[in-house]
Amino acid sequence: MSVKTKLSFMVSLIVFALLVLNVILNEYSTRVNLRSDVESTLMHVSGQIAASVAEYDKGDQLFDRALEDKLRAATIHAAKQLGGSVEEITNEELILLASRAGVSQLALLVRDGDGFIVKRSTRIEDLGMNTQSWGKWDQVLKRGAGDAQPEKSFWTGPVEPVVSDTNYTVKRSFYIDGNKNYIISCSLQDLQASTYNPMDNPAAYIQLMKENKPSILEVTGFDLTYVDLEGAASNPIVKKAIGFGTYDFMEVSADLDHIRRAVAGERIFQEAELGGRNVIKSFLYVDEPNPYVISVVMDKGPMLALIKHQRVNQMIISGGLLLIVVLCSYWLSDILMRPVRSILWKVNEVSFGRFDNSIEVNRKDELGQLAQRVNAMSKNLGIYMAKLKLAFEENRSMKEYLESFINHTTDAIHVVDLDGRITQVNRAFEELFGYQASEALGNVLPLVPEHLLEEEREAMEGLIAGKLLSSRETVRVTKNNEWIDVSITTSPIRDKHGAIRAIASITRDMTSRNKMEELLRRSEKLTTVGQLAAGVAHEIRNPLTTLRGFLQLQLETGKLNSRHISIMLSELDRINLIVGEFLILAKPQVTRFEEKDVRLVLDDVISLLDSQAHLCDIEFVTTYTEESCRISCEDNQLKQVFINILKNAIEAMPEGGHITIDIERKGNQSVAIAITDQGIGIPEDIIPKLGDPFFTGKESGTGLGIMVSQRIIQSHQGTMDINSRVNEGTVVTITLPLLTEESQAHIEVSASREHSNVVQ
């Protein structure tokens, strides 16, 4: 599908959506407006009917009051004219009196048990009649007679329509006088009311309204006097409850609820399907002159037909507009896409690497400016492509160089992600650890011994937290579970935002270097042993001279002296001690860390060098703390360190003097051994170089003594500091950790490493 077609389709689709939305909104608006009009019409009709009922009730009340006043006047007049006993009065008197009073009938009633009978009457056929045949009027008579006062009482009932050949209305009145033994009953007939009522009653008004508004199907007036609002009865809306109108569209339970809500002041409009029709029922409460709920049922069909007609018209109009939009959008799309085709041609040329051809620009609008920018872009791309090719060649060469460097370096390099999975290794890694790249990539390899896992975890956490890790010597495990001494340099790899994404480690095999250091240490030891030989020989000669003298004395005297024998044994023990210390120092030993008191170790060294010191006119002065100074150490290596330092101090004091040896505890963590001489001192520019291999200030020195001593102290997790002033002397301070559980574990690891070196 071309862009022109797509553009036309998209515009048409948008217009189609807008037209559909317009139809929906229009129909919704029409429904809402029609519903509002219907509700307004229903309220207006209900109001008119309520007003008609109110007017009718007012007229009926005025008519009833006029009849009642006329009856009252006629009855009181008759009572004045009649005697006290019914026996004294004749029917002819009543006829004459009724004619004068202007009433239709005049009758005298006497009590007969629980009822009343007609004793005298203007109508001869009523004589002797029981009033029970009067129906409603008999109830009015008995109710009034029961409530009447003993002196005088007048009461009447409602107007009663009489249906016969000639319709008329009748109203009766009753009068009791305490001085008479009868009740006077008057009735009044009115023919004019019977002709007036059908014209002005609610039924006539409703019929007239239904003729003018055919959509009104039914009007019902519910007399609340006969409606059971609580719904306790089986039929809460009885026939008497229909005060006016009809009740053909009935829903008794629903209508009862609507009547309750209308009485509560709510305007009710209910849609329903009754009698096969969709209708809208409204309920309106009126309280004057009597409490009524007026229900109007309106046919919903005309409203639905109007909505349907409106919908069809909108759809026809929308369809025509949509067709016009489709044609116009397709035509406009073709006009707009003409310059785009030229730009597309140029872009295709650029995509094939042809940057020379340009677009002819004949427009000054946005598309013309775009064409100019495309031409400029093509020119710049040609320049940049040449530069990119050159840069690509340089990058490729640099990549090959780096890959060659990484793969051919003797140091093992591997990269792990933050979860410890290896993402990259070089060939040296494969050779050092024995894992192939396919085995290592994507896996977590057990390179760290179990006892160093916690230390490695803390180191990685510190690195991720931003700390710098210096190169550290430790132990790693190969694929064959062999332990190797390595030096590791660990660095973070960060992304462009500075976040750490991986960790790179450069591992160097230190096995050969450690073996060389061991050889150097042994070479230095042999050198020291050679230099100590003269002192040891002198130390042995003295007790031998003593032994020779005592033996000669024993031969001359021929007697054994126990005192001489004790001295001889003591001298032999001294020779044995000196020779033993000398052999321990000279003999290669397996590195084994043991718990020792550093004071005792120094005492053994002082005993060994004491004779040499006396030959040089030098005296050892010791100051030891009385507290325990137990450390975990390899005493043979520590003795080698102390011998190197004391021998250097002796050689630095050609004029003799004192060498002070102080041992002091530093809290519960470490012990400090300070060896101070009074020698020639060391120049300040030489002190930083001490410990460098083969660097020495002596003519016959090897330059390895201080280096080996420093390595031994480091393996014991200690430090060695040298402070000196020319012609004043030198102070060598060695600090070693006191024996604790943590230091013991660490030293055991170091011991295992040293042991593996010796075995190898």
- Beta strand spans in 331-372 (E): none
Q: What gap in Å lies between CA 551 and CA 566, rounded to an integer?
A: 13
| CA terminus-to-terminus distance, the chain | 78
- Beta strand spans in 357-471 (E): 412-417, 422-425
- Of 170-174, 468-472, 488-492, 734-738, the least confident: 468-472
- CA torsion sign, 705 to 708 to 711 to 716? negative
User: Above 70 in pLDDT, residue 760?
Assistant: no
Q: In DSSP terms, which residues pair with 661 in a beta bridge?
A: 622, 675
pLDDT at 194: 45
- Of 248-252, 327-331, 343-347, 749-753, the least confident: 749-753
- Of 18-27, 255-264, 337-346, 605-614, the least confident: 337-346
Mean pLDDT value of segment 662-673: 91
User: Among the residues of 558-654, which ranges form H helices?
Assistant: 562-586, 598-615, 635-651
DSSP state of 471: P
Residue with the bigger pLDDT between 256 and 343: it is 256
DSSP state of 149: -
Mean pLDDT value of segment 477-504: 85
Contact predicate 124/116, CB 8 Å: no
Residue with the bigger pLDDT between 535 and 654: it is 654
Task: Identify the structural domains of the chain with CATH numbers, from first to last.
Answer: 409-509 (3.30.450.20), 514-759 (3.30.565.10)
Estimate to the nearest angstrom the gap between the alpha carbon of 191 and the chain centroid: 87
- Of 166-170, 426-430, 664-668, the least confident: 166-170
User: Above 70 in pLDDT, residue 748?
Assistant: no
User: Above 80 in pLDDT, residue 703?
Assistant: no
The string of pLDDT tens digits covering residues 214-237 is 888 888 888 887 777 776 666 777
The string of pLDDT tens digits covering residues 206-216 is 777 777 788 88
* CA proximity to 107, closest of 153, 75, 132: 75
User: Above 70 in pLDDT, residue 526?
Assistant: no
pLDDT at 756: 43
- Of 45-54, 217-226, 351-360, 720-729, the least confident: 351-360
User: Above 80 in pLDDT, residue 416?
Assistant: yes
**446 backbone dihedrals φ, ψ, rounded to 5°:** -80, 70
pLDDT at 567: 59
pLDDT at 700: 57
Residue with the bigger pLDDT between 86 and 243: it is 86
pLDDT at 524: 56
**Residue 136 corresponds to which tokens in the numbers above?**
């409603």
Q: Which amino acid is at 698?
A: K
- Of 146-155, 392-401, 543-552, 622-631, the least confident: 543-552
Residues whose CB is less than 8 angstroms from the CB of residue 527 and which lie 6 or more positions away in sequence, other chains included: 702
Confidence of residue 693 (pLDDT cuts 50, 70, 90): low
Average pLDDT score over the chain = 78
**230 backbone dihedrals φ, ψ, rounded to 5°:** -80, -15
Residue 530 three-state SS: helix
Contact predicate 156/174, CB 8 Å: yes
pLDDT at 661: 94
pLDDT at 659: 93
Q: What gap in Å lies between CA 465 and CA 418, rounded to an integer?
A: 12
pLDDT at 233: 67
pLDDT at 120: 87
User: Above 60 in pLDDT, residue 654?
Assistant: yes
Confidence of residue 754 (pLDDT cuts 50, 70, 90): very low
User: Above 50 in pLDDT, residue 164?
Assistant: no
pLDDT at 736: 93
| Percent of the chain at pLDDT exceeding 90 | 6
Confidence of residue 29 (pLDDT cuts 50, 70, 90): confident
pLDDT at 16: 85
Q: What gap in Å lies between CA 575 and CA 308, rounded to an integer?
A: 131
| Percent of the chain at pLDDT exceeding 70 | 79
pLDDT at 206: 77
User: Above 60 in pLDDT, residue 9?
Assistant: yes
pLDDT at 759: 34
pLDDT at 354: 74
- CA torsion sign, 149 to 154 to 155 to 161? positive
Contact predicate 505/413, CB 8 Å: yes
The string of pLDDT tens digits covering residues 255-286 is 888 888 888 888 888 888 887 888 888 888 88
Residue 208 three-state SS: helix
pLDDT at 548: 63
Q: Between the ranges 77-91, 232-246, 520-534, 725-739, where is the mean pLDDT highest?
A: 725-739
Calculate the alpha carbon distances from 403 to 398, 409, 488 in Å. 8, 10, 21
Contact predicate 183/109, CB 8 Å: yes
The pTM (predicted TM-score) of the whole model is 0.36
* CA proximity to 734, closest of 654, 629, 650: 629
Confidence of residue 583 (pLDDT cuts 50, 70, 90): low
User: Above 50 in pLDDT, residue 202?
Assistant: yes
Contact predicate 511/484, CB 8 Å: yes
Residue with the bigger pLDDT between 695 and 410: it is 410
Question: What's the full length of the chain, in residues?
Answer: 760
Estimate to the nearest angstrom the gap between the alpha carbon of 380 and the chain centroid: 49
pLDDT at 674: 95
For the purposes of burial, counting CB atoms within 10 Å of the CB of 57, is it exposed (0-12), middle (13-18) or buried (19 or more)? middle
- Of 82-91, 433-442, 664-673, 683-692, the least confident: 683-692
The string of pLDDT tens digits covering residues 444-485 is 888 888 888 888 888 888 888 878 777 788 888 888 888 888
User: Above 60 in pLDDT, residue 199?
Assistant: no
Q: Which amino acid is at 611?
A: S
Residue 243 three-state SS: strand
The string of pLDDT tens digits covering residues 100-129 is 888 888 888 888 888 889 888 888 888 888
Estimate to the nearest angstrom the gap between the alpha carbon of 291 and the chain centroid: 60
Residues whose CB is less than 8 angstroms from the CB of residue 363 and which lie 6 or more positions away in sequence, other chains included: 339, 371
**Residue 575 corresponds to which tokens in the numbers above?**
């020779």
pLDDT at 673: 94
**540 backbone dihedrals φ, ψ, rounded to 5°:** -75, -35
Contact predicate 368/361, CB 8 Å: yes
DSSP state of 428: H
Calculate the alpha carbon distances from 489 to 12, 460, 474, 582 in Å. 67, 12, 11, 41
Residue with the bigger pLDDT between 89 and 335: it is 89
Residues whose CB is less than 8 angstroms from the CB of residue 550 and which lie 6 or more positions away in sequence, other chains included: 564, 567, 568
The string of pLDDT tens digits covering residues 68-95 is 888 888 888 888 888 888 888 888 888 8
Q: Which amino acid is at 737?
A: P
